[in-house]
Amino acid sequence: MPYRAKTQTFPLLLLLFLMLSSVLSSSLLNSLSTEYLVFAILFCLFTFFTLFIHYECKVDPNHVSYRVLFFSWPLYKRTLSPNEINQIKFKRVGWNTKGAIIKTQKGPHVRITHFTPEDVYTDLTNFAAAHNLSVYKTNDYLILDR
């Protein structure tokens, strides 16, 4: 079953609004240099396109797949077999949110947070138990797991 997560839109929209209002107010007063205007427009475009990035994680019996998608185009894809995983660390993210970090032997670690449905953490625990992987759960995570 694929699990999905989206980027958090409120901080990005706030940043986009602040940047656009700064650029528009300064451009109306003609107090912007050309370099700053180009940088600000590129930054606004980058922030706008970041709003359309979403993540997908799939836990299969033999591997864990993680993808970063822009609309439906894959930007990053990683398939982890059990022998590539050192440890799965479960931790608390924020006030009431569970999270997991899949620590790998090579390459960047995979961070699993804000995925829906929340069965992804149970599936990761079952995957680790089936393949005798090291699992570490922080005390804060155990409070949420009750």
Cα separation, 127 vs 100, in Å, equals 13
Question: What is the per-residue pLDDT for 139?
Answer: 92
With a cut of 50, list the residues of the chain below it in pLDDT. none
Question: What is the per-residue pLDDT for 58?
Answer: 94
Give the SS3 label for residue 114. coil
Residue-wise pLDDT for 117-131, tens only, equals 888 999 999 999 999
Question: Where does the chain show beta strands of DSSP type E?
Answer: 2-6, 53-59, 64-70, 73-80, 85-93, 97-104, 110-113, 134-137
Neighbours of 85 (CB within 10 A): 21
Cα separation, 50 vs 119, in Å, equals 26
